[in-house]
Each structure stands twice: as structure tokens, then as C-alpha cells.
Structure 1
């Protein structure tokens, strides 16, 4: 175990490698035009691999070994997790051109809603993470209480886009957030405008939500704050 980084670098490298391979498989599966016989063979192989991974599993309330909610490290987050087969994954960093945070991405056909465009529900998932991360960076961590999206135009697939999130207003335990999705080539033309409200839970609510959480070794380890955001990628 690495004492400097706080996690096993060999395990992190392996999880990252598997996540990358699985994302490649998912992307290929929605683009392929191979004949049915080949699809059946690949499906059989995929089931065999799933059985191998299923020989050791964790329960719902058990954190993965690499996760650290306090450090915002969530390796299987469906938005930022390096080990997730469904995450893009986004690399969220401080926004040098404005308040809050920013990320760039290009979404493949596995995220398709209307033909050729990003599924609207994916916009909500992505921006919930963006706003939550922006709130955390401002010291305003909390849980999503309200999320509202205004779809001004469809987000094209296989096209670079830029996502932003920032704090709009602070009031007690409530933080009002704002954000957007735009084409990287036209960042001023917003395609999706987002507002959200994040609320810091009271201590008794935290205990109700997360009192059963244990770490990878089975030790009781409820998080002291409610978040699924990952660490920011600081500019080098």
C-alpha cells in the first residue's frame, strides 16, 4: 500500500486499465455491424469474463478499496470514475476562464438519444456532477435537492463540448448552482443551461443515509460529508 498517495497504485492502474477496456467494448458494441454469429460469440466471452469478476464482490454499503469519499476519490462514478464502463469519464478541473469548474468531452454513440445527439438524461447526469463538484470546490458540499435543465439545442455526438459549473448563490445550508454545456468551438452559444440547489444534510440525516457504510475491510466508515464528486484535476 502506498503511504504517499493513500491507495494501492498497482490496483489503481489495473482498475483504470479494465475501465478503459470496458469503455472501449461498450463503444464498439453500439457501432459494430458484424454478423449475428460474431455477436453471439462475443456475448458468450463477455459472460465468461463477468463470471470471473463475480467470484469476489462487495455489498451495496461497502466502499471499493480505492474509494475515499473525503478525498472525493470515487473510481466507479458513472461520470468521473476511471473504473466505470459507462463514464466518459470526465476530468473536472478549476476553470481558468471563470468561477467554478470546467471539463471537456466528446460523447460517443453509447450516449445517444435522438439520432446523432446526446440523450437529454445524460446531460442531467453530467451536469449534476459538474455542479456538485463546483459546490465542493467552493466549500459548499451537499446533496442535490433540485436540478433544472433548459435545453436550448441538441448536443451533437462525436463533437468536442465544454461543460461548466459554478456557485450562483449561498444561503445557509442551501447553495444555488449554475452551469452549461456548449460546443468547444462555440463556447458562448449555450446548448444546455442548468440550475441546481444543493443542501448540506444535518448530522442526523447523514447518519440515516450513510450510517451503514463500511470500508473495503469491513470497518464502519460512514462519510462525514455527502458527495460522490472526485478530486479536481489541477492544471499543471
Structure 2
């Protein structure tokens, strides 16, 4: 399996982030208003005309090849299309992962209507997506090591309300090719979902080491 990524300089990373992050945020807002809009048919058709024009503009130049790059300074992958944290993927929760010197990681973010399951509550699958990614981040040293989800178990302690949330994760221990990680999703009142995961270093990476 090939895990060599094209490098992107810090300057180019910052340029792309400054350019495309507002676009992704605008697309997220568009999804939110599209879910709740009650405009008339004529207004829907007018919006469709504008959306078609935007699609044509953005489609004039498309990237070919890899969607995952490597940050030249940090060595970490830059996965613009990742459905959990992709900066240029509007379906991804708006998470920015923070890494602490002790190896733990966390993110604070807000989930709106696009992530709703029961009315007013986050869909359980979205909670699983968030925690699977965060545990994977911490187990793989910020995605710099090839360690993939072997198993993940979640305990839904109560409903997770839409709105401001925090997720955090840490490594409990490592045993050979296995790394054991734990994480939490929480609101202002405390933990809503707990997760335990086992992440595996694949045989090809062990052989290479």
C-alpha cells in the first residue's frame, strides 16, 4: 500500500486554507438553510439557477490525482476531502483537531441541522464518525503512523444535543501492533458518548519497520 504523499509547503497550505475554508463554510450554511427553507417554487428555481452558475464556476479547474497531501513542515497528511475533518468537504463536521505535547488531542465545534438524528439531537452515526476519527488521530500520532481502526466500541450515555460540543481522545496503552485509545464526546453538561478503540499497525508497515 502506497502512503507517499505529495508535499505541500506551509505557505501554500495557508493560502489554500484562507481561500477554500470560507467556501466550505458557505456550503455548510447552504446545506443548513436548504434543510429548513420554505420559500416558494419560483424562489427555489431562482436558487437552482445560482447554484448551477456556482457549479460551473468551480468546475472550470479541477484537481487531478491525489486528494491527500503532506504538510512539508509537520509531516502530517492534509486530507482536504476527508469526510470527518476535510477542510474542503462541506459534509465533514467543522472540526479542527488540536494536538497537545502529551499526545492527547481535542476539538471544539458546533453541529447544526445537517447532523441531526432525532429532532434537536446529533445523529448517533455522526457521534461515531467524530470519535472514530479523533481516536484514530491520537492512536496514529497525528496520522503520521499507519494505524487503522480494528475495533471501536461506543457507549451512548445520553442524547447529544445539536450545538457547541467538545471531543477529546488519548492513548491508554500499546501492545505490539495494537494501540488502545479512549475518547469522549461532551456538551456543556458533561460526557454524552464514550468510545474505546483498538488501532492496528498493518503487517506491511511492521515489515517495513
Output the TM-score relative to the length of structure 1: 0.72
- Are 1:23 and 1:84, in contact at CA under 8 Å, matched by a contact in 2? no
Q: 1:14 pairs with 15, 19, 25, which one? A: 19
Tell me what 2:39 maps to.
34
Q: 2:49 pairs with 32, 39, 44, which one? A: 44
- Are 2:80 and 2:86, in contact at CA under 8 Å, matched by a contact in 1? yes
Q: 1:161 pairs with 158, 161, 165, which one? A: 165
Tell me what 1:101 maps to.
105
Q: 2:175 pairs with 133, 152, 171, which one? A: 171
The 3 A distance-change label for structure 1 pair 136 and 6 is farther
The CA distance in 2 between the partners of 1:115 and 1:31, in whole Å, is: 13
- Are 2:131 and 2:195, in contact at CA under 8 Å, matched by a contact in 1? yes
Tell me what 1:86 maps to.
91
Instruction: Kindly report structure 1 stretches of 4+ aligned residues shifted beyond 4 Å.
Output: 138-141
Tell me what 1:120 maps to.
124
The 3 A distance-change label for structure 1 pair 134 and 204 is closer
Structure 1 residue 74: Cα displacement: 1.6
Q: 1:136 pairs with 113, 136, 140, which one? A: 140
- Are 1:167 and 1:175, in contact at CA under 8 Å, matched by a contact in 2? yes
The CA distance in 2 between the partners of 1:73 and 1:94, in whole Å, is: 15
Tell me what 1:201 maps to.
202
Any gaps of 5 or more consecutive residues in structure 2?
Answer: 1-7
Tell me what 2:5 maps to.
none
The CA distance in 1 between the partners of 2:153 and 2:70, in whole Å, is: 29
Query: For each residue in 1:33-54, what CA deviation from the matched residue of structure 2 results, as whole angstroms up to 9, or x when unmatched?
Result: 2223212321232233223333
The CA distance in 2 between the partners of 1:101 and 1:169, in whole Å, is: 15
Question: 1:63 and 2:66 equivalent?
Answer: yes
- Are 1:132 and 1:141, in contact at CA under 8 Å, matched by a contact in 2? no
The CA distance in 1 between the partners of 2:202 and 2:87, in whole Å, is: 28
Structure 1 residue 8: Cα displacement: 5.5
- Are 1:177 and 1:195, in contact at CA under 8 Å, matched by a contact in 2? yes
Report how many residues are paired.
197
Structure 1 residue 57: Cα displacement: 3.4
- Are 1:103 and 1:162, in contact at CA under 8 Å, matched by a contact in 2? yes
The CA distance in 2 between the partners of 1:193 and 1:63, in whole Å, is: 34
Question: 1:186 and 2:189 equivalent?
Answer: yes
RMSD: 2.9
The CA distance in 1 between the partners of 2:145 and 2:57, in whole Å, is: 41
